[in-house]
Amino acid sequence: MFDLVTKNKTLVYVVLGLIILTFAFFGVDSYFQGTSAGPEVATIGKNPISEQELAVALRRAQDQMREQGQQNAQQNAQMNEYLNSPEFKRSVLDEVIQRRLLLGYAASTGMVVSADELRTVIADIQAFYDADGKFSPTRYEQLLRAQNLTPASFESQIKQDVILSRIQGAMAGSAFIPDKVLQRLVRIRGQEREVSQLLVSPSEFKSNVSVSEEDAKAYFDENRPLFQIPERARVEYLMLTPEVAAANVTVSDDDLRRAYQERLSEFQSVEERRASHILIAIASGATDEEKKAAREKADEIHQQLDDSPGRFASLAREHSGDPGSAEQGGDLGFFPRGLMVAEFDEAAFTLNVGQISAPVQTQYGYHIIRVDEIKEVETRPFAQVRNELEDAIRKVEVQDAYLQAAQTFSDMVYTEYDSLQPTADALGLTVQQSDWISPSGGAVMPVLNNPKLLEALFSPEMLEERRNTNAIEVEANTLVSARVIEHKLPTDMPFEDVAQDIIDHLGALEAIELAREDGGATLAKLNDGEQLSLKWSNPGYVTLLRRQGLHPEGARAVFSADTSSLPAYAGVSVDDGRYVIYRISNIRDVETVSDEELETANRQLSQLAVQAQYADYVASLRERSDVTINESRLNPDLQ
């Protein structure tokens, strides 16, 4: 295709230029300079990371995790507990710091993303394409608005992602694993070891264990916090979501037809023309004589076409200075208005089918243009887009209805502070009751495990006055207000109620220790060459990848053992308290290593090397960048 097409491809991507990955957090400046919105939770040099910035990143990370991990109620409760934990919050902060460091370094070295590179990446994004595989302005507007994102943040984010990918790609290209290392890895992974097991179980030592009631009482006194029923409460609560608001939203046929007329252009295709051309090119910096010669040649060819229009394709192959189209007889394919340079575009959209233009001058030279086919504007009928329109209108109206209901919800739970029922009656909601929950959560309903809600519920004011909490957004577009209906302070368990449990627990611990001691002593004797009469399991061959039921720690012990003489022995204490001794009686080495195995090993080792190199690189940036975390702001509840 000739140069002027690529020159104005920007016109095709005017709208696409706003598109970017939907997980954008902030504009590029915020990553380099931070934001002053709210107290700082960390600083990189003099640049702060505010609590607001971290809160936005945390919310998006939580939403992504929840979308990917829908499980049963218990698993959702565990997931929610983790997503609200200090550990998860710190991991998100580390991600924000890492991203800021890498982008700051890229900026300091002058690393940029060109307009062409940006267009290429954007053009590959399918999220905003319609069912016909074309970019849909309607879909774009809906999703952009739903994400509360601006075009500026979209473009900044995609530049950031390209830069980060470029940094990772540079490291991936530098990873090199020597052939000898690969050969050794494949041989170790494929090596088979014949293994038998001897289990030393704590149950064998129960008869040797004696725990007195005095021992149990001493343990009870030393660990009183373990034997408390924590503070707890039962609550009633109201929950407002867009789904609830949607029950009152209706979209009439008149609304749909009005929207169809207002947005008719969205359902119409653009006129496209298929044209061919012969380009008599003029080089940059050409002299007046060269320009005159080009014009004379164009006029001569045009005269030949006046006499013999059917020779257009052969003359294009012979004379056109656009190699891409010349081979096709000058055919440029279909293009919409505005794609070509202005002079070419005006001529092409003025001609009728089969008509040949006089030479048209552009910055590239002289073009002789013939229009071969016209695709007229086509309009998708109302019936075809009705459902699409209804979904779009309903989504907006549901959101509007939710926002209105949210305002009513927030106002009423505050003004009608001693009961949730008036708010429930006004909005058609149902007051629900929880089982016992503690300040650290534990509710079956995950929304009740929200830290802000729990903090409010267990505040002195709420416990004493039994007021409604303020409306709290516990998840995206989910408001909750709750009030305590029953409260119990922490309660000590009587020793008599837990004495036997403590005796059993201490006895189990002692039995585990005896099993470990006995297993370790037996292993030492075997390694010293003593001949012992032991009940070994039937032998079987295992590899690092095919453990055949071998405990993971056991597999590591087996393949770390010194096998210079056989049988060899290894032992580990596994997580259920048993001590396991392994006897390695035979080894079968890999005879040959295939190219495919080497390639797989190279790919896996290279990935590990890149990950390690990337982590070291980020760590070095962090060390040089004076990163400070304000622990009191990061986790105020732990202070």
Average pLDDT of span 142-160: 66
Q: Is 547 helix (H, G, I), strand (E, B) or coil?
A: coil
Enumerate the H helices of 490-594 as residue ranges: 495-527, 552-560
The more confidently predicted of residues 148 and 330 is 330
Name which of 154-168, 171-185, 422-436, 556-570 the model is least confident about. 171-185
571 neighbors 519 (Cβ within 8 angstroms): yes
Instruction: Write the CA distances from 101 to 33, 92, 95, integer angstroms.
Output: 11, 14, 10
Average pLDDT of span 557-577: 87
Sheet hosting strand 432-433, strand order edge to edge = 432-433, 232-240, 478-488, 472-475
Can you point out the beta strands (E) in 212-330?
228-229, 232-240, 272-281
Instruction: Name the DSSP class of 561.
Output: S
CATH dotted code for 231-252+384-489: 3.10.50
540 neighbors 555 (Cβ within 8 angstroms): no
Q: Is 454 helix (H, G, I), strand (E, B) or coil?
A: helix
Inform me whether the pLDDT recorded for 534 exceeds 50: yes
Instruction: Write the CA distances from 373 to 326, 338, 348, 355, 466, integer angstroms.
Output: 18, 17, 11, 10, 77
Q: How confident is the model at residue 420 (pLDDT cuts 50, 70, 90)?
A: very high
| Model-wide pTM > 0.75 | no
The more confidently predicted of residues 384 and 354 is 354
Which distant-in-sequence residues (6+ apart) come within 8 Å of 366 by Cβ?
279, 280, 282, 294, 295, 297, 298, 359, 360
Omega before residue 86 within 30° of 0, cis: no
Please list the residues that pair with 336 across neighbouring strands.
272
pLDDT at 626: 81
Q: How confident is the model at residue 247 (pLDDT cuts 50, 70, 90)?
A: confident
* Per-residue pLDDT tens digits for 104-143: 877 777 777 777 777 777 667 777 676 666 666 666 566 6
CATH of the domain spanning 269-375, picked from 1.50.10.10, 3.30.70.3270, 3.10.50.40, 3.60.90.10 = 3.10.50.40
pLDDT at 156: 74
Q: How confident is the model at residue 290 (pLDDT cuts 50, 70, 90)?
A: very high
With vertex at residue 352, the alpha carbon angle to CA 347 and CA 353, rounded to the nearest 5 degrees, is 115
Asked if the domains at 3-176+617-638 and 269-375 fall in one CATH topology, the answer is no
Question: At 599, which helix (H) or strand (E)?
Answer: helix 595-624
Name which of 64-68, 161-165, 260-264 the model is least confident about. 64-68
pLDDT at 575: 75
Name which of 162-171, 228-237, 527-536 the model is least confident about. 162-171
Average pLDDT of span 508-521: 92
* Per-residue pLDDT tens digits for 357-371: 999 999 999 999 999
CATH fold label, 3-176+617-638: Triger factor/SurA peptide-binding fold (1.10.4030)
Which distant-in-sequence residues (6+ apart) come within 8 Å of 302 by Cβ?
356, 358, 359, 368
Distance CA 33, CA 48 (A): 7
User: Rounded to 5 degrees, what are φ and ψ at 10?
Assistant: -55, -35
Average pLDDT of span 172-190: 69
Domain coordinates of the chain in residue numbers?
3-176+617-638, 192-227+495-588, 231-252+384-489, 269-375
Inform me whether the pLDDT recorded for 4 exceeds 60: no
Average model confidence (pLDDT) across the chain = 80
606 neighbors 598 (Cβ within 8 angstroms): no
Inform me whether the pLDDT recorded for 33 exceeds 60: no
pLDDT at 208: 87
* Per-residue pLDDT tens digits for 334-353: 888 888 899 999 999 999 99
pLDDT at 68: 64
Inform me whether the pLDDT recorded for 14 exceeds 50: no
